[in-house]
Amino acid sequence: MYKNIIKEMVPEMKAKIRSKSVPWITSEIRKLMNKRYKLLKKFRQSKDKNDWDLYKKARNSITKLLRETEADYWCKEFREAKNTKEFWSLVKKVQNTDVGPRIGALQVGDDIITDDKQKAEKFNKFFSCIGIELSEKFTQENLTSKTEEHIYRIAPGASYLTLQEASSIKSVCETINQRNSSEHDNITTREVKEMAGSFCFGLQEVINKAIADRRYPTRWKIAILKSSHKKGGKKNYRKLSSTFNVKRSQ
């Protein structure tokens, strides 16, 4: 009963919810846009040429007005920019570089996915498993010359991968930069450099097996993400990715 009364006394209205309002569109411009839309609705019902001319005149007038007000807005913002940081921040806003193209609905099997979180999970699952699934197909038995030719064409460096000698690995270890910090392997670059003669034999086994299997060691892919402070403010940080120190001997 209550819902019937509300429906009768308070009619529903359709409204467009804007997540981010454009600053140069004033209330006067929005009224003109609403008037333009009403003229379009009127033409759709009547199909009269006069109604179409009225709508077209209003459309062209508002398009011109929007371009002028947007240009005035950005000119004012650039004039008020006090430093280069504010200037380039405005450039990004004008170019709209922070907003990427939205991903539409995805069809996975018989399911249609529209939720952004579910899309991200499907993409993560696909890209985390695709390498393993492809590597299982390329076994030594079914790896034909045509397949190898395709692999070498898209990854030319693969054709030059040869088994490494311990002496060459030792030479690389001895040239590692000692300024690199030790991370989750707890092996400092100084230790790698000073003990290159011992490290090189163990690394030779790992590197040659990876080359023979054409599979990169999984643990060497793991990295620790850190934030390093930069000049320019308390919140100005950059992201750093730190990997295994022994990995740098490749």
pLDDT tens, 183-237? 555 667 777 777 778 777 877 888 888 777 767 777 777 777 777 767 666 666 7
In this structure, is residue 110 part of a structural domain? no
In this structure, is residue 185 part of a structural domain? yes
What is the 8-class DSSP label of residue 107?
E
Return d(Cα 19, Cα 107) in angstroms, integer.
27
In this structure, is residue 60 part of a structural domain? yes
pLDDT tens, residue by residue, 95-148 = 775 555 677 777 888 888 888 888 888 888 888 888 777 777 766 556 565 655
In this structure, is residue 175 part of a structural domain? yes
**Whether the Cβ atoms of residue 126 and residue 132 lie closer than 8 Å to each other:** no
Query: Hey, what amino acid is at 188?
Result: T
pTM: 0.35
Helix (H) / strand (E) element for 132: namely helix 116-137
The domain containing residue 184 runs over which residues?
165-250
Given 61, 83, 105, the domain boundary residue is: 83
Q: Which residues of 232-248 are buried (b: 16+ CB within 10 A; e: fewer)?
A: eeeeeeeeeebbbbbbe
Count: domains in the chain: 2
Residues near 170 by Cβ (< 8 Å), separated by ≥ 6?
A: 196, 197, 199, 200
Given 35, 58, 83, the domain boundary residue is: 83
Given 60, 83, 106, the domain boundary residue is: 83
In this structure, is residue 6 part of a structural domain? no
